[in-house]
Amino acid sequence: MGSNFMSAGGLSTTIEYCSKLNLKGGEKILDIGCGIGGSAFYLAEEFNCKITAVDISTSSLTLASQRLSSKYPNLKNNISFIEADVLNQEYDDSSFDVVYSRDAILHFPFNQKKILFEKIRKWLKPGGQVLITDYGTTETPTTGFKEYAKKRGYHLYTPKGYASALSSCGFKVIGDTDYTLEYCKISLQELNRVKTGPGKLKFVEEFGEEALTDIRRVYEDKINMCLTDSRTFCVVHAFNPRKFDDERRQVLETCKEMFKSGLVLGTDGNISMRIGDDHIAIKGSGLPYETLGVEGIVVCDLEGKAISGEVYKPSSEINLHLGLYKFRSDFTSIVHCHSKSSSAVACTRKPLPCFHYSVGELTEGMEIPCAEYATYGTEMLADNVVKAMGNTSVGCLMSNHGSVCGGTSLSEAMYRAKRLENLCEVYLMTKGLEIVNMSEKEMEECRERDKSYGQAEEGEGVGHGNHGCC
Ligand SMILES: C[S@@+](CC[C@H](N)C(=O)[O-])C[C@H]1O[C@@H](n2cnc3c(N)ncnc32)[C@H](O)[C@@H]1O
Ligand SMILES: [Zn+2]
Give the other-Cβ count within 10 Å of 395's Cβ: 26
pLDDT in tens, 380-436: 999 999 999 999 999 999 999 999 999 999 999 999 999 999 999 999 999 999 999
- Work out which ligand 1 atom sits closest to the CA atom of 36: 9
Quote the ligand 1 centre to 31 CA distance (angstroms).
9
Ligand nearest to the CA of 2: 1
User: What pLDDT sits at residue 320?
Assistant: 98
Residue nearest to atom 1 of ligand 1 (CA): 103
The mean per-residue pLDDT over the stretch 161-177 comes to 95
Ligand nearest to the CA of 153: 1
pLDDT band of 226, cuts 50, 70, 90: confident
> Domains of the chain (ranges plus CATH)?
2-239 (3.40.50.150), 245-438 (3.40.225.10), 444-470 (no CATH)
- What is the per-residue DSSP string for 62-127? HHHHHHHHHT-GGGTTTEEEEES-GGG----TT-EEEEEEES-GGGS-HHHHHHHHHHHHHHEEEE
The mean per-residue pLDDT over the stretch 196-223 comes to 85
Residue nearest to atom 27 of ligand 1 (CA): 35
Quote the ligand 2 centre to 400 CA distance (angstroms).
10
Alpha carbon distance 177, 167 (integer Å): 13
- Work out which ligand 1 atom sits closest to the CA atom of 101: 6
Quote the ligand 1 centre to 279 CA distance (angstroms).
44
Q: Where are the alpha helices (DSSP H) in 302-435?
A: 318-327, 340-346, 379-389, 410-429
Q: Which residue has the higher pLDDT, 417 or 223?
A: 417
Residue 265 exposed, middle or buried by CB count within 10 Å (0-12, 13-18, 19+) = middle
Contact 182, 9 (CB under 8 A): no
Ligand nearest to the CA of 83: 1
Answer yes or no: is pLDDT of 456 > 70. no
Mutate to test the pocket of ligand 1, among 54, 56, 85, 235 (most ligand atoms within 8 A of CB): 56
Answer yes or no: is pLDDT of 301 > 90. yes
Ligand nearest to the CA of 269: 2
Quote the ligand 1 centre to 233 CA distance (angstroms).
16
Answer yes or no: is pLDDT of 249 > 70. yes
Answer yes or no: is pLDDT of 7 > 60. yes
User: What pLDDT sits at residue 470?
Assistant: 41
pLDDT band of 188, cuts 50, 70, 90: confident
Mutate to test the pocket of ligand 1, among 57, 112, 115, 156 (most ligand atoms within 8 A of CB): 57
User: What pLDDT sits at residue 105?
Assistant: 98
Q: How far is CA 402 from the centre of its chain?
A: 28
**CA-closest candidate to residue 60, choices 91, 31, 96:** 31
- Work out which ligand 1 atom sits closest to the CA atom of 60: 27
Ligand nearest to the CA of 132: 1
The mean per-residue pLDDT over the stretch 454-458 comes to 67
Quote the ligand 2 centre to 430 CA distance (angstroms).
26
Tell me which of 134-138, 368-372, 460-464 is least confident: 460-464
Contact 272, 328 (CB under 8 A): no
Answer yes or no: is pLDDT of 219 > 90. no
The mean per-residue pLDDT over the stretch 311-322 comes to 95
pLDDT in tens, 17-51: 999 998 989 999 999 999 999 999 999 999 999 99
Quote the ligand 1 centre to 297 CA distance (angstroms).
36
- Work out which ligand 1 atom sits closest to the CA atom of 4: 9
Answer yes or no: is pLDDT of 232 > 60. yes
Ligand 1: list residues with CB < 6 Å.
5-7, 33-35, 38-39, 54-57, 60, 85-87, 102-104, 107
The mean per-residue pLDDT over the stretch 317-338 comes to 97
pLDDT band of 457, cuts 50, 70, 90: low
Alpha carbon distance 53, 47 (integer Å): 16
**Active-site annotation, residues:** 317, 336, 338, 357, 401, 453
The mean per-residue pLDDT over the stretch 70-78 comes to 96
Tell me which of 73-77, 217-221, 252-256, 433-437 is least confident: 217-221
User: What pLDDT sits at residue 465?
Assistant: 57
- Work out which ligand 1 atom sits closest to the CA atom of 54: 21
* CA-to-CA dists, residue 113 to 28, 99, 360, angstroms: 22, 14, 59
Residue 368 exposed, middle or buried by CB count within 10 Å (0-12, 13-18, 19+) = buried
User: What pLDDT sits at residue 460?
Assistant: 62
Residue nearest to atom 8 of ligand 1 (CA): 7
Mutate to test the pocket of ligand 1, among 1, 4, 6 (most ligand atoms within 8 A of CB): 6
Quote the ligand 2 centre to 403 CA distance (angstroms).
8
The pTM of this model reads 0.71
Q: What is the mean pLDDT of the chain?
A: 92
User: What pLDDT sits at residue 464?
Assistant: 60
Answer yes or no: is pLDDT of 374 > 90. yes
Residue nearest to atom 10 of ligand 1 (CA): 104
The mean per-residue pLDDT over the stretch 304-323 comes to 92
User: What pLDDT sits at residue 169?
Assistant: 96
Quote the ligand 2 centre to 267 CA distance (angstroms).
9
Give the other-Cβ count within 10 Å of 313's Cβ: 15
Answer yes or no: is pLDDT of 1 > 70. no
pLDDT band of 468, cuts 50, 70, 90: very low
